[in-house]
A and B are shown apart, each in its own frame.
Chain A
Amino acid sequence: MRILIVEDDREAANYLVKALKEAGHVAEHAADGDDGAHAAATGGFDVVVMDRMLPKRDGLSIVQEMRARGDETPVLVLSALGQVDDRVDGLKAGGDDYLAKPYAISELLARVEALARRRRPGEVETSYRVGDLVLDRLSHTVTRGGEEIVLQPREFRLLEYLMKNAGQVVTRTMLLENVWDYHFDPQTNVIDVHMSRLRAKIDKGQAKPLLHTVRGAGYMVREGLK
C-alpha cells in the first residue's frame, strides 16, 4: 500500500515511516501543510495519515479540500486533542477515522489497514466466511462446519466486525469504538473477557482455532495462522 504521512514532528514521522515500511507498505512523508496538500493532490495513495495541527495549514482543511474535489482516499486524522468534540470535528471535515496522540504504533497500523480495506469495491457483503466459519448478516446466524453457534447480539456484532476485518489486526480500542460506540478506554480490560467468551463459542473443540490474540496489539480472525 502507498501511504501518505502528513506530520510536522520529524521524529514521530520517521518512526512512522519506518514502522510502515517494516509492515510492507510504501510510506511518503510531508512535513507541513502546503507540502501535504500538494502531495495529496498528486494522488495515488491508498491511505492518508493527516496530523491536525500543521505549520502553514490546518490538516482538516486539506481533508476538506480533498473531499471537495471528489478525492475519496481514506484519511486517518491524528491529533493531540482526543476529546469527543475534536473527533466529531475531524469526522465532519471528511476524515474516516480519528486517533489521538500519543498512540501505539500497532494501533495506527491496524487502523490504517482497516481503512485501506474499507475502500475495496463490492463492500456490501451479506455474509463473511473465514475457513469453515460463516456469518450471515441477513439472517443473523453463525455456523461453523455447518453447525449453528448461538451468539448474544453483542457477540454477534463483535464477530461481525472481526470477520469484516479478517486477516488483519483489530485493536481493543477499535472494538470499543466500532462495537460499543465508546471512545474512551475503560480502566480494566473488559474487552478481553468478551473475547474469551466469544472464543469459547467459536473455537472450543475445534482443531484449527480462528480467533487469535496478537500480542501487544489486539485480535485477529484468520485461517491457519503460523
Chain B
Amino acid sequence: MTSAAPAGDRFAAVLRLFRTTAVRLSLLYLVVFTVFSVFLVVVVTHDATRILTLQIHESIDADVEALQDQYRRGGLVRLVFALEDRARRPDAGLFYVVDTSGNPIAGNVAELPPNAVADDDPDPHLLDYLRFEGGKETRHVALVRAFALDNGFRVLVGRDIGERERLRAVFRKAFRYVAGLMVVIAGLTWWFLSRRVLARIDEVSHASRRIVDGDLSGRLPVSGSGDEFDRLAVGLNEMLERIGELMGGVKGVSDAIAHDLKTPLTRLRNRVEQALSDDDPEARSEALEAALDESNALIRTFDALLMISRVEAGRAVSAADPVDVAEIAHEVAELYEPLAEDEGGGLVVEAEGPLAVRGNRELIAQALTNLVDNALKHGRSDDRAPRITLSARRDGGRIVLAVADDGPGVAPADRARIFERFTRLEASRTTPGSGLGLALVAAVVRLHKGEIAVEDAEPGLRIALRLPAVA
C-alpha cells in the first residue's frame, strides 16, 4: 500500500528534499537577500527619520524665537495675535498658551495633559494630544517645547510628527513587499535549479549508473548548449571512449595472444621433440638451435607486448624535455641506410632541424625504426626493395614525421586496422614479424598526444606522425 506512507517515510522524504542542492541554494539565497534588504531598509528608515526629526526641531525653535520676539515688541496681546495667526495656517504646528494658574487662553489644541507645559527643557519631547480638525477632535502625537513668559504665562510650541510616521509606514510597507518578492525569487531559483540543473545532474547520474551496470556503450547526454554540464559530459564521454578502446584492446589482445602465440609455441615444441628423437648429434644440435631461435622470437614478442602496455599506461610526456626529432630522424636513417642499400633499395632523409617536440627520444626513435622496418619488409614489390623516404618538417603547431615507401601500399579498407596488435595483412604470414610494430608506433604517438595518418604515397604507403611542436 504505497498511498498510506508512514509518517517516518514522509519525514525522510522531506529530509531528502532538504538535502538536494536546489533547496539548499534557494534557502541560502533567501537568507542572504533578506539580511541584505533588512539592513538596507533599517539604514534608510533610520536616516530619513533622523533628518525629518532635525527639521521638526528647527522649525519649533524658529517658532519659539518668533513668538518671543512678538512678545517683546507688543506684549501678550501681540503674541496671542501672532500665535492665532500661525495656528490657522494649513500646515500649522501646535500652539498653546496658559495663564499663571494653568487655564488655556489661546491655541489650537483641544486638550493637553496638565503638566505638558510645565517643562522648560529646550529639547523638544514627545506628547500625545487632541486636536480640532474640521470641528472634530483627533488624537495626534507631536514633538513639543514649552517656555515661560516674564508675566508667568506659559507658551507651548510643537509640530505634529504624523508626516514622519507616515514615511516610516511607507518604508515598512515597501519592506514587506520586498520580503514577499524575495520568497518568490527563492522559489523561482529552486524551480530553475531543480528543473534545469538538477535534472541534468540526475540524467548524468542515471546514465553513469547504466554504464556501471555493464552497458559500456552508453554515453552521457549532451544537450548541445555548451554549458558546464555539456563540457563535463563531453569530457566524461571521451574518458568512456578511451576506456572502451582499452577494454576492447585488452580483449582483442588476449584473443590474439592465444591465436598468434600458439603457432610459434607449437613449432618450438616440435623442434624439441625432434631434438629428443634424433640420434645424429649434429641434427640434434641444429634442432635445439632452431628451438632457441623460436623461444627468442617469443621473448621478443612478449617484450614488445609489455613495451606497448607500458607506453599505453604511461603518463603523458607533456612535462618531458624537448628533443629534436630532425636529429632522431637522421640517426634512424643512418642506422637503416646500409640495410636498405644492401637489399637493393634506398633510404633518403629529408629533415632540417631543429624540430623540437616534448617527449622521449628513445620511444620516438623506436617508433621510427619500426616504421622503417615495416617499410623495408612490406614495401617490396616484385622482389625489389623499396626506396624509403624519412621526412620531418614543421606544419603549423605540429611536427610531421613521415615514412614513405614506393611499394604496393595498403588498401584503404585495411588502413585503420594496421595499428591493432597482431594485425598482419598477409594471410600466409610468411614475412617475419610479430604484428606489434605499428601497434607500438600508435601507442608512442598517443603518449605524445599526437595523431597518426595512413596515406597513399602514390605509389606506396606513407605513415605520418603529427606530434605537437614545442611552442
Binary contact readout B326-368 vs A (1 if CB under 8 angstroms, 0 otherwise):
0000010011101100100000000000000000101101100
Contact of A188 among B296, B307, B362, B373 (CB under 8 A): B373
Contact of A102 among B299, B369, B433, B434 (CB under 8 A): B299
Q: How far is the CA of A84 from the CA of B360 in the complex (A)?
A: 10
Asked whether, in the complex, the Cβ of B338 is within 8 Å of the Cβ of A186, the reply is no
Contact of B373 among A187, A194, A197 (CB under 8 A): A187
Confirm or deny: B437 has a beta carbon within 8 angstroms of a beta carbon on chain A: yes
Among the stretches A32-40, A164-172, A176-184, the one at the interface with B is A176-184
Binary contact readout B272-312 vs A (1 if CB under 8 angstroms, 0 otherwise):
00000000000000000100000010011001001100100
- Which residue of chain A lies nearest to B433 when distances are taken between CB atoms in the complex? A187
Contact of A187 among B296, B338, B363, B370 (CB under 8 A): B370
CB neighbours (8 Å) of B465 from chain A are none
Q: A187-B300, A193-B338, A194-B338 are in contact. List 20 more A-B contacts (CB 8 A).
A: A83-B310, A84-B360, A84-B362, A102-B299, A183-B362, A184-B307, A184-B365, A184-B369, A186-B373, A187-B369, A187-B373, A187-B433, A187-B434, A187-B437, A188-B376, A190-B335, A190-B336, A193-B339, A193-B342, A216-B289
Q: B: which residues have CB within 8 A of A?
A: 289, 296, 299-300, 303, 306-307, 310, 331, 334-336, 338-339, 342, 360, 362-363, 365-366, 369-370, 373, 376-377, 433-434, 437
CB neighbours (8 Å) of A188 from chain B are 339, 373, 376-377
CB neighbours (8 Å) of A100 from chain B are 303
* A98 CB to nearest B CB, Å: 14
CB neighbours (8 Å) of A185 from chain B are 300, 303
CB neighbours (8 Å) of A216 from chain B are 289
Main secondary structure of the interface of A (DSSP, over half): loop
CB neighbours (8 Å) of A180 from chain B are 331, 335
CB neighbours (8 Å) of A182 from chain B are 335, 362, 365-366
List the 9 closest pairs (A to B, CB-CB), nearest first.
A193-B338, A193-B339, A186-B369, A187-B373, A184-B366, A190-B339, A188-B373, A193-B342, A190-B335
- Which residue of chain B lies nearest to A185 when distances are taken between CB atoms in the complex? B300
* B184 CB to nearest A CB, Å: 62
Q: Can you offer 10 A-B residue contacts whose CB atoms are under 8 A?
A: A82-B306, A154-B334, A184-B365, A185-B300, A186-B335, A187-B433, A188-B339, A188-B373, A194-B335, A197-B338
CB neighbours (8 Å) of B370 from chain A are 187
CB neighbours (8 Å) of A197 from chain B are 338
CB neighbours (8 Å) of A12 from chain B are none
- Kindly state the interface size class of chain A when it binds its partner: 20 to 34
- Which residue of chain B lies nearest to A154 when distances are taken between CB atoms in the complex? B334
Confirm or deny: A104 has a beta carbon within 8 angstroms of a beta carbon on chain B: yes
CB neighbours (8 Å) of A193 from chain B are 338-339, 342
Q: How far is the CA of A85 from the CA of B59 in the complex (A)?
A: 92
* B405 CB to nearest A CB, Å: 15
Binary contact readout A133-164 vs B (1 if CB under 8 angstroms, 0 otherwise):
00000000000000000000010000000000
* B385 CB to nearest A CB, Å: 12
* A100 CB to nearest B CB, Å: 8
CB neighbours (8 Å) of A183 from chain B are 362
Given contacts A190-B335, A194-B338, contact A82 B303 (CB under 8 A): yes
* B326 CB to nearest A CB, Å: 17
CB neighbours (8 Å) of B363 from chain A are 84
CB neighbours (8 Å) of A154 from chain B are 334
- Which residue of chain A lies nearest to B336 when distances are taken between CB atoms in the complex? A190
Q: How far is the CA of A109 from the CA of B366 in the complex (A)?
A: 26
Q: How far is the CA of A197 from the CA of B340 in the complex (A)?
A: 13
Q: How far is the CA of A190 from the CA of B339 in the complex (A)?
A: 6
Binary contact readout A190-217 vs B (1 if CB under 8 angstroms, 0 otherwise):
1001100100000000000000000010
Q: How far is the CA of A187 from the CA of B300 in the complex (A)?
A: 9
Contact of B307 among A83, A186, A194 (CB under 8 A): A83
For window 49-84 of chain A, which residues contact chain B by CB distance below 8 Å?
82-84
Asked whether, in the complex, the Cβ of A104 is within 8 Å of the Cβ of B334, the reply is no
* B132 CB to nearest A CB, Å: 103
- Which residue of chain A lies nearest to B361 when distances are taken between CB atoms in the complex? A181
- Which residue of chain B lies nearest to A83 when distances are taken between CB atoms in the complex? B310
Q: How far is the CA of A188 from the CA of B342 in the complex (A)?
A: 13
- Which residue of chain B lies nearest to A101 when distances are taken between CB atoms in the complex? B299
- Which residue of chain B lies nearest to A184 when distances are taken between CB atoms in the complex? B366
* A215 CB to nearest B CB, Å: 10
Q: How far is the CA of A128 from the CA of B307 in the complex (A)?
A: 38
* A110 CB to nearest B CB, Å: 16
Q: How far is the CA of A193 from the CA of B303 in the complex (A)?
A: 24
* B264 CB to nearest A CB, Å: 15
Q: How far is the CA of A82 from the CA of B300 in the complex (A)?
A: 12
CB neighbours (8 Å) of B369 from chain A are 184, 186-187
Q: How far is the CA of A102 from the CA of B437 in the complex (A)?
A: 20
Contact of B296 among A83, A104, A186, A194 (CB under 8 A): A104
CB neighbours (8 Å) of A186 from chain B are 335, 369, 373
Q: How far is the CA of A41 from the CA of B338 in the complex (A)?
A: 48
Binary contact readout A212-225 vs B (1 if CB under 8 angstroms, 0 otherwise):
00001000000000
Q: How far is the CA of A178 from the CA of B363 in the complex (A)?
A: 17
Q: How far is the CA of A217 from the CA of B310 in the complex (A)?
A: 28
CB neighbours (8 Å) of A84 from chain B are 360, 362-363
CB neighbours (8 Å) of B373 from chain A are 186-188
* A186 CB to nearest B CB, Å: 5
* A181 CB to nearest B CB, Å: 8
* B412 CB to nearest A CB, Å: 26
Which of A83, A180, A188, A194 neighbours the largest number of chain B CB atoms within 10 Å of its CB?
Answer: A188
- Which residue of chain B lies nearest to A192 when distances are taken between CB atoms in the complex? B339
Q: How far is the CA of A201 from the CA of B434 in the complex (A)?
A: 35
CB neighbours (8 Å) of B334 from chain A are 154
* B297 CB to nearest A CB, Å: 10
* A9 CB to nearest B CB, Å: 16
